[in-house]
């Protein structure tokens, strides 16, 4: 039983790290112009040698970007909260009970990641200035999509998991 708990905890921590890296790292969109340094764009900034904020990111024209930012931050918060709730429930719930509250919070994190990545996919051309539209998805975008099934599987594992001796 300890091995199963260790593996579930390790899986949860890995999913949380992926969500955190996808939220923070500056490679959601990558443009590699010929003869120049690559330009990396995340949810807040575009960077090559220096970083500058995304055009109109604070206006209602960029409400899609603000939705992606908010849902990725919520996903990170939900992942962290569900981990601490799991640890608390591990010591507080009765034998034979399920980790339902932890599962619900982790499934909310999964939903937030899916919403953020879906909005970014659907509205990617709205996010970038005219010179940055001919690029490709970066590693953070891919990590966001990888963290979606990981958080979903983690939440489902908590639904199935019962406390045993």
Cα dihedral: 117, 123, 128, 134 (round 10): 90
pLDDT tens by residue, the chain, 165 residues: 778 888 999 999 999 999 999 998 878 888 877 667 777 777 777 777 676 666 666 666 668 888 888 999 999 999 999 999 999 988 888 877 888 999 999 999 999 999 999 998 888 766 655 556 677 888 899 999 999 999 999 999 998 887 666
10 Å CB burial of residue 71 (0-12, 13-18, 19+) is buried
Cα dihedral: 157, 24, 43, 26 (round 10): -120
* Distance from C-alpha of 159 to C-alpha of 151, rounded to nearest angstrom: 13
Q: What's the confidence (pLDDT) of residue 144? A: 93
What values do phi and psi take at 162, rounded to 5? Answer: -115, 150
Q: What's the confidence (pLDDT) of residue 55? A: 62
Q: What's the confidence (pLDDT) of residue 131? A: 58
Q: What's the confidence (pLDDT) of residue 103? A: 93
**Which tokens sit at 81?**
């909260």
Domains, the chain, with CATH or none: 2-160 (1.20.140.150)
């Amino acid at each position: 039983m300890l091995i199963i708990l260790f593996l579930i905890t390790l899986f949860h921590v890995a999913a949380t790290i992926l969500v955190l890296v996808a939220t923070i790292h500056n490679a959601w969109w990558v443009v590699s112009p010929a003869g120049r340094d690559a330009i990396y764009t995340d949810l807040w900034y575009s960077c090559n040698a220096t970083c500058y904020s995304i055009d109109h990111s604070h206006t209602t024209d960029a409400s899609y970007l603000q939705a992606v930012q908010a849902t990725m931050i919520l996903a990170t918060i939900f992942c962290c909260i569900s981990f601490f709730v799991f640890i608390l429930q591990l010591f507080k719930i009765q034998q034979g009970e399920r980790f339902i509250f932890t599962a619900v919070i982790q499934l909310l994190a999964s939903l937030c990641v899916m919403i953020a990545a879906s909005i970014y996919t659907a509205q990617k051309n709205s996010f970038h200035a005219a010179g940055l539209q001919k690029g490709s998805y970066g590693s953070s975008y891919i990590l966001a999509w990888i963290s979606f099934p990981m958080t979903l599987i983690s939440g489902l594992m908590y639904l199935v998991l019962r406390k045993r001796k």
